[in-house]
Structure 1
Amino acid sequence: MTAGIAFVGCGYVADLYQSALANWSETLELKGVYDRDPKRLKTFAKHYGLETYPSFDALLEDPEVEIVVNLTNPDEHYAVTKQALEAGRHVYSEKPLAMDLAEARELVELAADEGLHLVCAPSSALGEAAQTLAREVQSGAHGKPHLVYAELDDGMVHKIGYQNWKTASGAFWPAKDEFKTGCTIEHAGYALTWLVAMFGGVRRVVSFASCLVPDKGKDTPPDYDTPDFSCACLEFDNGVVARMTNSIIAPHDHRFRVFCENSVLEVGETWDYSGKVRVTPVPKSKMRRGAIKLLGMTGSRKIKPQSQRKISTAKRGYPMDFALGVAEMAEALQEGRAPRLAGEFSLHITEVSLAIQYPEQFGTDYRPVSAPGPVAAMEWRSEED
């Protein structure tokens, strides 16, 4: 049984969702799309052969639409999601829930009051690589986890030809919106969802953020001062501490490393849902430095995530299943349960992301209020090479 969904927003990210729908043909059925820009709507719909709605109201009046997928610009997330919830529709929103924490909390409370579900991207914590890593960490086989290093550095984006980043339907990467929103709001969720799914809610955020390159060329937004670098230390209830960086300055580095008592667990690319988990034993304290270095090179093993599916993705970009979160939401609704990342979980990711990017607003030593519950594991299998 498929769930009817509709896209609001036909820009750059819509292609990424559209290209991943093939992974869930038995779960999701795209009823139609809408964009406030008639030209963009026509181009996107024609390229993929999709039905269109003449207005957002018309979309919400379609009784076959169960889930509204909010793919608008971040500044519009709050208003679009609120209107969809008030119309009695479940919502899956691109990140963040809102650019203001009070508005994000209002949306979560509205959904609860209306008996609806609200989920926010990213859903990569449900992907094969993240689930394989979480299973290893939580198994206890590697000893107690102490520390996590999570990097999401993308290089100097303003110097690497983003002007040529174009989707299959012809949408260009929205540079001004990306710079204005900030790389932390755009990217922190990828590591945060992994961390919160494994260790529970963040209890303390100590952050520094700065705009290091205020002139990024012709696409620099007016009065641009959004941080293009952030570094935060996050503390969890169980004592685990994570250091997380986000930047569009430092060279590309998307590693996620968990330092346990007996092993170091590493995923080299958090945007690869099929990425392998490298396990390296912690060397004995009496070993010489040369032997310790050699062990790091030769003593590790890899665990490859295995599942019964082949992931379809957009031609441009990384092997990420953007439709996974929407599909999991649809399955949850059919099973009469809450989606794994719904409500308080999505609010927490938004709250912590905002606190990291804006320490001058939240304080450099911030204690999040939202408290997400445990996240049930997906049924992805893993096996060692």
Structure 2
Amino acid sequence: MSVPVALIGCGFVADLYMRGLATFPGLAVVAAWDSDPKRLAAFSTFWSVPAAQGLDQMLADLPEGGIVLNLTNPSEHFAVNRACLLAGHHVYCEKPLALDINQARDLVTLARDRGLQLASAPCSVLGEAAQTLGRAVRDGTAGALRAIYAELDDGFVPQAAYDKWLSESGAPWPAEDEFRTGCTLEHAGYWLSWLIAWFGSVTTVHAISAETVPDKLGTGPMAPDLSVAVLEFEDGPLTRLTCSIVAPHDHRIRLIGDEGVLSCNAAWDNAAPVRFARRFRLRRRLMEHPFPRRLRLSGPTHPKLGRRGAASMNFALGPAELADAIETGRDSRLAGDYALHMTEVTLAIQNAGLTSGPQNMSTRCAPMEPMPWAR
């Protein structure tokens, strides 16, 4: 199987996708496009990828059954996704699908009406760590789960040397756009995708969000740089999710059950260890085991990459899964109701402010089918 892939947006994250795509020989990058001619030239030269002469021409030339990777800034996602779907192409979009839930809903409907698939990043939910932890949830390793604590704190980024952060092909980290978009829209999906995959629909979001550090680089308005959410699932434990670019780096998730605690300490590492600490009583003291047992899946999983910047993730797991879904005539795990629901929950947290109160979700999705090697 050889699936043609076209990239729209050659910025910072595009290099991470190219590294991942190289691990899947069946995915062939046939063209790239960026509205910035200098960025397009640098990217296409570095990766030896054909530079398209224009977006419309690239979409017209992409063969039927191909996939477009929408790696543009979030403010452009809706328009680019819509153009790709109208051109008759399947789309894999960086998060979120759109900045408005009604626009996201329109996109999912458009894809269905045209027999196309619209999938959403992040794809770390398809990685070994997420699938290992999901297997432990299904097996009841920690007993009945009572609560989940999930953190996505990235340190005090406004003081970081982000002006020196460059991708492999020389793209600068888009600080101004990142600050305008916000860490919740950019990062919440890394844990939300795992949680929704395991437990399905979030029914109610209780959240607050705020900009705690003013005067960041660029012109405003800037998005919240801190959000705290409590999620009620239709069939899952109460969950607290925190996103920030102000608190010390912490990417842990802990699932607290009757028998002990399941944990993973690195959201952005596909091979991060998953551990279980059994709870026990020692004389009058209740404690979790100081030497947690590492949980592993038997057999091979997926191609892995070394650390690049802050992450050790294969960004092509999602496009590869989408390509397989197209080839086998099934719905992608990352598309349809799942993508729409994750978008709604993320936007609810991002836009909560300080006074929104409980927000009832209007979308629903079923738990995700595990990867074949994790069943």
**TM category, shorter:** over 0.9
1:283 Cα deviation from its structure 2 partner:
2.3
2:97 matched to which residue of 1? 97
Deviations 1:278-335 (A, max 9, x none): 1001223x7433xx45x5323x211245625441357433110101000000001000
Aligned residue identity for 1:211 = E
1:302 matched to which residue of 2? 294
Answer whether contact 2:150 2:240 (CA < 8 A) is retained.
Answer: yes
The 1:256–1:55 alpha-carbon spacing in structure 2 relative to 1, beyond 3 Å, is same
Normalising by structure 2, report the TM-score: 0.95
The 1:2–1:83 alpha-carbon spacing in structure 2 relative to 1, beyond 3 Å, is same
The 1:63–1:177 alpha-carbon spacing in structure 2 relative to 1, beyond 3 Å, is closer
- Which ranges in structure 1 are unaligned for 5 or more consecutive residues? none
1:106 Cα deviation from its structure 2 partner:
0.7
Equivalent position SS for 1:186: helix
Task: Give me the whole-angstrom Cα distance separating, in 1, the residues matched to 2:62 and 2:227.
Answer: 43
2:5 matched to which residue of 1? 5
1:372 matched to which residue of 2? 365
Equivalent position SS for 2:102: helix
Which stretch shifts more, 358-367 or 348-357?
358-367
Map residues 15-54 of structure 1 onto 2, 5 A cutoff: 15-25=15-25, 27-54=26-53
Deviations 1:213-249 (A, max 9, x none): 0112xx2x32334110000000111251100000000
Aligned residue identity for 1:334 = E
Equivalent position SS for 2:7: strand
Answer whether contact 1:125 1:194 (CA < 8 A) is retained.
Answer: yes
User: Paired residue for 1:222, among 219, 222, 226?
Assistant: 219
Answer whether contact 1:149 1:258 (CA < 8 A) is retained.
Answer: yes
Answer whether contact 1:355 1:362 (CA < 8 A) is retained.
Answer: no
Equivalent position SS for 1:77: helix
Deviations 1:16-61 (A, max 9, x none): 1001112211x31111101111111000000111111110101111
Deviations 1:98-125 (A, max 9, x none): 0111111110111011111100100111
The 1:288–1:224 alpha-carbon spacing in structure 2 relative to 1, beyond 3 Å, is farther
2:237 matched to which residue of 1? 240
Answer whether contact 2:77 2:96 (CA < 8 A) is retained.
Answer: yes
For the aligned residues, what is the CA RMSD? Answer: 1.7
Normalising by structure 1, report the TM-score: 0.93
User: Paired residue for 1:252, among 245, 249, 255?
Assistant: 249
Answer whether contact 1:202 1:237 (CA < 8 A) is retained.
Answer: yes
- Which ranges in structure 2 are unaligned for 5 or more consecutive residues? none
2:331 matched to which residue of 1? 338
Aligned residue identity for 1:353 = T
2:158 matched to which residue of 1? 158
Answer whether contact 2:180 2:220 (CA < 8 A) is retained.
Answer: no
2:109 matched to which residue of 1? 109
Equivalent position SS for 2:88: coil
Equivalent position SS for 1:23: coil
The 1:314–1:22 alpha-carbon spacing in structure 2 relative to 1, beyond 3 Å, is farther
Which stretch shifts more, 144-153 or 62-71?
62-71
1:77 Cα deviation from its structure 2 partner:
0.3
Map residues 163-174 of structure 1 onto 2, 5 A cutoff: 163-174=163-174
1:183 matched to which residue of 2? 183
1:358 matched to which residue of 2? 351
Aligned residue identity for 1:283 = F
1:160 Cα deviation from its structure 2 partner:
1.9
- Is 2:284 the counterpart of 1:288? yes
Task: Give me the whole-angstrom Cα distance separating, in 2, the residues matched to 1:309 and 1:255.
Answer: 22
Deviations 1:332-381 (A, max 9, x none): 10001010111110111111011001114993200111111231111335
Aligned residue identity for 2:185 = I
1:64 matched to which residue of 2? 63
Task: Give me the whole-angstrom Cα distance separating, in 2, the residues matched to 1:192 and 1:213.
Answer: 25
What is the aligned residue count?
A: 373
Task: Give me the whole-angstrom Cα distance separating, in 2, the residues matched to 1:315 and 1:187.
Answer: 17
1:316 matched to which residue of 2? 309
Aligned residue identity for 2:186 = E
**Taking every aligned residue pair, what percent have the same amino acid on both sides?**
45
Answer whether contact 2:206 2:229 (CA < 8 A) is retained.
Answer: yes
Equivalent position SS for 1:214: coil
The 1:172–1:14 alpha-carbon spacing in structure 2 relative to 1, beyond 3 Å, is same
Answer whether contact 1:128 1:307 (CA < 8 A) is retained.
Answer: no
Aligned residue identity for 2:284 = R
Deviations 1:132-191 (A, max 9, x none): 000011112321111111100000111121111101100010000000000000000000
Task: Give me the whole-angstrom Cα distance separating, in 2, the residues matched to 1:144 and 1:33.
Answer: 48
Task: Give me the whole-angstrom Cα distance separating, in 2, the residues matched to 1:107 and 1:381.
Answer: 31
1:267 matched to which residue of 2? 264
Answer whether contact 2:251 2:265 (CA < 8 A) is retained.
Answer: yes
Which stretch shifts more, 365-374 or 61-70?
61-70
